[in-house]
Amino acid sequence: MLAAVLHGQTDLRLETVPDPIPQPGEVVIAVEVATTCGTDLKVWRRGGHAKMLQPPTLFGHEAAGQIVALGEGVEGWSIGDRVVANNSAPCLSCFYCQRQEFSLCTDLTFNNGTFAQYQKIPAPIVTQNLLAIPDHLASATASLTEPLACVLHGISRSGFQVPLQGQLPSKSL
């Protein structure tokens, strides 16, 4: 398959690499839409990310696609399902996960390789953060799930509340 492979600082190459084969608990999707976010840009400029990836590696972490292969033991998903896989999954056992601070997890599983024809989704992401795309939703829109989740998480953490209709906020923004 054709894939973008990060080799180092600003060194991103299109290469032919083997098609992914799902291991137990994993799925492989045919990528329909892959997006680029600020994290991708930072990783490209820096040439890597201490926790998320080390070059050379497949690149990109936001995509929507269709399941084309299922690993042993995968339940609840079928070949042909349209899905979006969020970019990580928490370990569920560290200090932060036990306090439901999943975004601070010290042992996240990351999802990389969306800039390719196919992408293998790690088992923890399949279990926790693989989402079905409704029939009425375009893949391009669904691919924005992770950036939207970041925005919503930030709003939730900020304590901001939308005023009821007809009421003015007590503080100016």
- Please check whether residue 166 lies inside any domain of the structure: no
27-34 sheet: strands from edge to edge: 118-121, 27-34, 63-70, 82-85, 130-132
Structural domain count of the chain: 1
- Residue 61 sits in which domain range? 2-157
- Please check whether residue 169 lies inside any domain of the structure: no
For 144-163, the pLDDT digits (tens) are 888 887 788 788 888 887 77
- d(Cα 6, Cα 67) in Å, to the nearest integer? 25
- Please check whether residue 80 lies inside any domain of the structure: yes
For 17-50, the pLDDT digits (tens) are 999 999 999 999 999 999 888 888 888 888 877 6
- d(Cα 50, Cα 100) in Å, to the nearest integer? 23
Please give the structure tokens belonging to residue 126.
């399949």
CATH number at 44 reads 3.90.180.10
Q: Left (φ > 0), alpha (ψ -120 to 50) or beta: where does 72 sit?
A: beta
- d(Cα 79, Cα 155) in Å, to the nearest integer? 36
